[in-house]
A and B are shown apart, each in its own frame.
Chain A
Amino acid sequence: MSGALLVVEDLNVTFPGRTGATRAVRNASFTLGRERLGIVGESGSGKSTTGRALLGLIPRPGIVTARTMTYAGEDLLKCSERDWQRLRGRRMSMVLQDPKYSLNPVRTVGRQIAETCLLHLGTSHREAERRTLAMLEAVRIRNPEVVYHLHPHQLSGGMGQRVMIAMMLIAEPDLLIADEPTSALDVTVQNEVLRILDDLVSERGMGLIFISHNLTVVSSFCDRVLVMYGGRIVEEIAARDLHNARHPYTRALVASAPSLDEPRAKLATVTRDPAWLR
């Protein structure tokens, strides 16, 4: 593992509310180098919140605190809005779940991709267009010149997600956070998109945080896995060691994934122990 890109110690994200505060993320600590880290958990486990906290996108009235949160030496806790604008898109980026909602409906996809270029790389419009077309090819879209002028509702799910990836990688960030990148896609299309992501991340030597509820996908895609439950990281383990996991929740997750090699009469479920929440 090369030198750590991202260092996080004791990250806490709290949302004050009328009936008391909700602690969405509690004391999360991890590091990331130029490798692939998966974060697995169910809804409400805090995995997406962690991802957004890393980009400074926790909306008011949420409060983000941490002992340390640095990216490539830059202290993220002290970032002003202008600092964030400099970082987002250019140094760190995020792919969202559903292109139906995460792409601007009234703009052509080409212009949306080109915008990232124009914001950060100071290129001319012509150059930005050229790079956009190149990026569309890199995500294996045929006829990039045609697709450039389409609107998001004219694309299928798989294409939309590839456009999303293009949009977020065109400025060549070092860190990509993928928040459920394939959860909204048909199973047949998922593998295709994952392969594209795989190739691009490897080619560019990026760090990747892959957030998902699907342990099977994460374990095959990532080097290391963080398992989150109730806002806490309950296990940190190498992907190939998952069958030897120690925490009962992780073991239950692994056990509940059906396998064609070992057919079972009954599928296992997770029995939750309230002790895990403390």
Chain B
Amino acid sequence: MSTTGTAGVFLDPPRTHLAAVVLRRTGSFLASLAATFIGLTAVTFFISRLTKIDPVLAVVGDKATKAAYDRAYEALGLGQSIFVQYFIYLRRLLGGDFGMSVLTARPVLSDLVRVFPATFELATIATIVGVLVGVPAGVLAAARQGRWPDHVIRVVGLFGYSVPVFWLGLVGLFVFYGKLGWVSGTGRLDVFFDDVVTPRTGVILIDSALDGNWEIFANAFSHLILPASILGYYSLAYIARMTRSFMIDQLSQEYVTAARIKGNSFWRAVWRHAFPNIMVPLITVIGLSYASLLEGAVLTETVFAWPGLGLYITNALFNSDMNAVLGGTVLVGAVFIGINQVCDLLYRLFDPRLRAT
């Protein structure tokens, strides 16, 4: 690979080759995404047929006329093979038709759009907490490996993997609301603030700030802080653990020693040399943490009566509203899959060891 001479040789992949690689990788990513989505919908389709509920009634409602029933029967392809029925189902989903909700008597999709911002708000704030606390904690634990900061952080992380989120939520409510009165109770806002804010984004913090209504902002915040902190704890346990693991790897590398030989202080070597090397895997970790928080939100929302996607699904569950349950499942599943796949792609695209190939 190297030629003789004192000039030395640099290994520079020609531009066309690089483009082909990117194209190929994006292609396989999209194929993988599609395959996984099909797998998910196949499972939800299968589940929907597991119930004893008549799938036609699920679509037209039980007050439909016989003509409407027959039409729907044909449209769903129920006379035909299961594969045809699945394709019809898939086509409906892709068209945005998730069926009607029994509980709200509205299209499931519009319900989902209505409730999603609350979950988004919760998961986002929790992830921000997780990153702001978890990353420095992980770096500290790695830099002080084997000493007490490392032990403390590992224990805190270990608890994060062992404590049930719904229980922590309840205990948190008991302590911080019941006994200490530091935060507000369940729900997103105190009852008499309902419908005061103009719903622009659906995220109350943003909407009230845009309105300039700081009283509501403060109230929303005091309702948000406890569930977000609890979810944030799980986020930071995971992020801290992964950060620690990545950093330990980097700190044992020779280039960190070289940085210190140049005259960098220990912490400069840690933050300015080692840390930039873990940014890419760290971003994928943060993405994965966000995805899992969407799941964790299901239980948290139940405990805090937080009107988001999780509460929607569980309410639908208790009311045997299969369309809503499955619609919510498809949405959570799709977002979950999407984030997972994107993180996977990012990691493989930007892994420095693959850059040279």
Q: List A residues at the B interface (Cβ < 8 Å).
A: 55, 57, 81-82, 85-90, 93-94, 96-98, 101-107, 115-116, 119-120, 140-143, 147, 150-151, 153-156, 158-159, 162, 164, 167-168, 171, 186, 188, 192
Contact = CB atoms under 8 A, between A and B. Distances in A.
A102 B255 contact: yes
Contacts of A90: 263
Interface residues of B, number: 29
Contact of B261 (A57, A142, A192): A57
B20 interface: no
A81 B266 contact: yes
B320 interface: no
Nearest to B279: A106
Nearest to A93: B261
B273 interface: yes
23 contacts: A55-B261, A81-B266, A85-B265, A86-B263, A88-B262, A89-B261, A93-B261, A96-B261, A101-B253, A102-B257, A103-B258, A104-B273, A116-B263, A141-B7, A142-B6, A142-B8, A153-B352, A155-B10, A158-B2, A159-B10, A164-B258, A168-B262, A171-B263
Contacts of B2: 156, 158, 186
9 cross-chain pairs, A with B, having the tightest CB-CB distances, nearest first: A89-B263, A159-B8, A102-B254, A101-B254, A89-B262, A153-B356, A142-B7, A104-B255, A102-B258
A116 B260 CA distance: 10
B346 to A, nearest CB: 15
Contacts of B259: 104
Interface in B308-357: 352, 355-356
B266 to A, nearest CB: 7
Interface string B65-101: 0000000000000000000000000000000000000
Interface string B1-22: 1101011111110000000000
Nearest to B253: A101
B164 interface: no
Nearest to B355: A153
Contacts of B48: none
A116 B8 CA distance: 23
Given A106-B277, A156-B2, A115 B262 contact: yes
Nearest to A150: B10
A153 B12 CA distance: 10
Contact of B9 (A93, A119, A153, A156): A156
A103 B257 CA distance: 10
A116 B352 contact: no
A95 to B, nearest CB: 9
Nearest to B147: A60
Contacts of B10: 147, 150, 154-156, 159
Given A85-B264, A86-B263, A158-B2, 7 more contacts: A88-B263, A101-B253, A101-B254, A102-B254, A102-B255, A105-B352, A162-B8
Interface in B140-173: none
A115 B262 CA distance: 8
A85 B262 CA distance: 8
A123 to B, nearest CB: 14
A96 B263 contact: no
Contacts of B11: 153-156
Contacts of A192: 6
Contacts of A104: 255, 258-259, 273, 276-277
A79 to B, nearest CB: 13
A144 B277 CA distance: 25
Interface string B263-278: 1111000000100110
Contacts of A101: 253-255
Contacts of B355: 151, 153
Interface in B238-255: 253-255
A152 B40 CA distance: 43
A105 B277 contact: yes
Nearest to B255: A104
A168 B276 CA distance: 22
Contact of B255 (A94, A103, A155, A186): A103
A138 B262 CA distance: 19
A121 B330 CA distance: 60
Nearest to A146: B10
A98 B273 CA distance: 18
Contacts of B9: 156, 159
Contacts of A116: 262-263
Given A81-B265, A105-B352, A119-B263, A156 B8 contact: yes
A164 to B, nearest CB: 8
B35 to A, nearest CB: 33
B39 to A, nearest CB: 36
A44 to B, nearest CB: 19
Nearest to A164: B258
B260 A57 contact: yes
Most buried by B among A82, A86, A103, A105: A105
Nearest to B256: A104
